[in-house]
Structure 1
Amino acid sequence: MHTMWKGSISFGLVNIPVKLHAATEDKDVKFRSLHEKCHTPIKYEKICPSCEQEVEAKEIVKGYEVAKGKFVVIEESELKELKGGGEEKAVEIIDFIKLQEIDPIYFNKSYYMSPDGGGKAYSLLRKALTTSEKVGIAKIMIRSKEQLAVIRVFANTLLMETIHFPDEVRKASEVPNIPSADNVSKKEIDTAILLIDQLTTTFQPEAYQDDFRLRVLELVEAKRTGKELVTVKEKAPVTEMNDLMAALQASIDRTKPQADKKPATKKKKTTKATKAK
């Protein structure tokens, strides 16, 4: 499993070296955008609309838009200074709470945590969380963004789940057209509850699947085995001869209209001797 972060967890005076691994993966069917004419993958280039030229990564700086078309430029060195101690690969557990106190709307992404040489300390935290039935609240810096996180035990493994800060969760009161009262009859409620009871079961994740993704993959396989494949049209290698021939042909094409014109009839010169006759 790929290691995406290395650092340590600390609670009190206990320090636990750990590695971070993504606990989930995106299995969406990904399509490439092709040119319909030749089936070549489309390139996406970073173009400056003002200079009308491609911009290299080293020429790009960060800017925060304070008004329409007006930006404050922030240097990487300034951001690094603001991170301070957060730049260090450390996760400090600042509080312990009950997991039930966190609404699922706050959860963002999950990461497995494996010990990086501190097996005993890792086991200590895992056992303490399990026995106390608590989870740890911590802060961590991932990809230049400070994250609030929950550290808990999942399948005998420490799991870190990043959670949204309160100001990142939109207020439910701002959702439009929500009815203020339940204008339903008792019979309707009883029928709905009966239906819920009939459909109630224990949660078994393996019982659910992405049917649309599977249908797309079946379609891809059917086209592949049926030889409905398209091939990228190979670009002819550019050589000096090709360039020369193209230039010569362009020159010929450019002069063709002039060659097709009939030459103007020359007038005979009139001399004094001719006039005298």
Structure 2
Amino acid sequence: MHTVWKGSISFGLVNIPVKLHTATENKDIKLRQLHKECNSPINYQKVCSVCEKEVKSEDIVKAYEYSKNKFVVLDDDELEKLRKENEEKAVEIIEFVKLEEIDPIYFERSYFMAPDTGGGKAYALLRKALGDSGKIGVAKITIRSKEQLAIVRVYGETLIMETIHFPDEVRSTEEVPNIPSEEKVTEKELDTALMLIEQLTAQFEPDKYQDDYRTALLELIEQKKNGELTVTVSEKETVIPSDMTDLMAALQASLDKTSTTKKKTTTRKRKTTAAEKKEA
């Protein structure tokens, strides 16, 4: 597993060197966009909205838009200094709470925690203490230049860290449109709804569920691939003269085109001069 963060986590005077590994993966099927005419991949360029020119990476700076079209430019060195000041700190568990006290809306991403060199015993101690107490630890951690609130809990034989949103990152329910006020429902309607819930109640078994759309899309891709209904990227056409005759023909055509253009320009100039003389 790839290590995404390396540091230490502590509770009280116990310090545990740990590594974080991403616990989940996104299995969305990524589709590329091709040019319909030649089946070549579409590339995207970074273009300045004013100059209308492509901008290179070294000519791009980071900035915060504090109001419409007004920015505070932030230097890379300043950002790097802030990142290091926060990222190099050990993660300290601030407090312990019960898992059920945290609403699922706060949860963001999960990471497996593995003990680093010399941290095995302290890791096992924290895992045992959390398991016996039925509590989870609340901590702060900086990952990829972003400070995160996180919880540490037991998952099987492993400690898992889950980043959670800060309260101001969760929108208020008052912002949700068209929420009906308390409606009167009949006792019969409620009894029927409760009966339906009871009939559909089961123990949660994750293995029962699958992404039907992804499965169907993979099957479609496989069918097209096996049926050779595929396309190949067109090579960029390069004109290379096969012999001197082709080269001379191309040169002559260029000369003829240039001569024709010059004749038209000269004719226009003569007509303009003649018209000017008449007016004079």
- TM-score scaled by length of structure 2: 0.85
Identify if the C-alpha distance between structure 1 residues 253 and 26 changes in structure 2 by more than 3 Å, giving closer, same or farther.
farther
Equivalent residue letter for 2:158: T
Identify if the C-alpha distance between structure 1 residues 238 and 258 changes in structure 2 by more than 3 Å, giving closer, same or farther.
closer
Q: Hey, what's the Cα distance between the residues in 2 that align with 1:257 and 1:31? A: 49
SS in 1 for 2:177: coil
Counterpart of 1:196 in structure 2 is 197
* Structure 2 counterparts to residues 237-252 of structure 1, below 5 A: 248=251, 251-252=254-255
Q: Larger C-alpha radius of gyration, 1 or 2?
A: 1
Following superposition, the deviation at residue 52 of structure 1 comes to: 2.7
Q: Extract unaligned runs of 5+ from structure 2.
A: 268-280
Deviation by residue 1:60-118 (Cα, 9 ceiling, x = unmatched): 11111122211110112223444464120522111110011000000000010111121
Following superposition, the deviation at residue 248 of structure 1 comes to: 3.2
Counterpart of 2:59 in structure 1 is 59
Counterpart of 2:17 in structure 1 is 17
Deviation by residue 1:119-147 (Cα, 9 ceiling, x = unmatched): 11110111111011110101110111000
Deviation by residue 1:132-179 (Cα, 9 ceiling, x = unmatched): 111010111011100000110101101000000000000112212212
Bigger mean CA deviation after superposition, 177-186 or 90-99: 177-186
Bigger mean CA deviation after superposition, 174-183 or 106-115: 174-183
Q: Hey, what's the Cα distance between the residues in 1 that align with 2:75 and 2:239? A: 41
Counterpart of 1:174 in structure 2 is 175
Q: Hey, what's the Cα distance between the residues in 2 that align with 1:238 and 1:10? A: 67
- The answer as to whether partners of 1:33 and 1:41 remain within 8 angstroms in 2 is yes
- The answer as to whether partners of 1:39 and 1:231 remain within 8 angstroms in 2 is yes
Following superposition, the deviation at residue 21 of structure 1 comes to: 0.7
Counterpart of 1:227 in structure 2 is 228
Q: Hey, what's the Cα distance between the residues in 1 that align with 2:84 and 2:56? A: 29
Q: Extract unaligned runs of 5+ from structure 1.
A: 265-277
Following superposition, the deviation at residue 53 of structure 1 comes to: 2.3
State the superposition RMSD in angstroms: 2.7
Identify if the C-alpha distance between structure 1 residues 15 and 248 changes in structure 2 by more than 3 Å, giving closer, same or farther.
farther
* Alignment: residue pair count: 261
- The answer as to whether partners of 1:6 and 1:89 remain within 8 angstroms in 2 is no
Identify if the C-alpha distance between structure 1 residues 249 and 178 changes in structure 2 by more than 3 Å, giving closer, same or farther.
farther
- The answer as to whether partners of 1:34 and 1:42 remain within 8 angstroms in 2 is yes
Following superposition, the deviation at residue 254 of structure 1 comes to: 2.1
Counterpart of 1:96 in structure 2 is 96
- The answer as to whether partners of 2:87 and 2:141 remain within 8 angstroms in 1 is no
Identify if the C-alpha distance between structure 1 residues 257 and 87 changes in structure 2 by more than 3 Å, giving closer, same or farther.
same
Q: Hey, what's the Cα distance between the residues in 1 that align with 2:99 and 2:82? A: 31
- The answer as to whether partners of 2:96 and 2:137 remain within 8 angstroms in 1 is yes
Q: Hey, what's the Cα distance between the residues in 1 that align with 2:216 and 2:252? A: 51
Counterpart of 2:6 in structure 1 is 6
Following superposition, the deviation at residue 252 of structure 1 comes to: 4.2
- The answer as to whether partners of 2:87 and 2:143 remain within 8 angstroms in 1 is no
Deviation by residue 1:212-266 (Cα, 9 ceiling, x = unmatched): 1111111100100000010000124587999x959737624624746999xx9xx
Counterpart of 2:278 in structure 1 is none
- The answer as to whether partners of 1:61 and 1:74 remain within 8 angstroms in 2 is yes
Bigger mean CA deviation after superposition, 85-94 or 112-121: 85-94
- The answer as to whether partners of 1:16 and 1:122 remain within 8 angstroms in 2 is yes
Matching of residue 254 in structure 1 with residue 257 in structure 2: yes
Equivalent residue letter for 1:251: S
Counterpart of 2:210 in structure 1 is 209
Q: Hey, what's the Cα distance between the residues in 2 that align with 1:37 and 1:197? A: 56
Q: Hey, what's the Cα distance between the residues in 2 that align with 1:210 and 1:66? A: 41
- The answer as to whether partners of 1:80 and 1:87 remain within 8 angstroms in 2 is no
Q: Hey, what's the Cα distance between the residues in 1 that align with 2:233 and 2:131? A: 56
Equivalent residue letter for 2:172: K
* Structure 2 counterparts to residues 260-275 of structure 1, below 5 A: none
Matching of residue 114 in structure 1 with residue 114 in structure 2: yes
Percent of aligned pairs with the same amino acid: 62
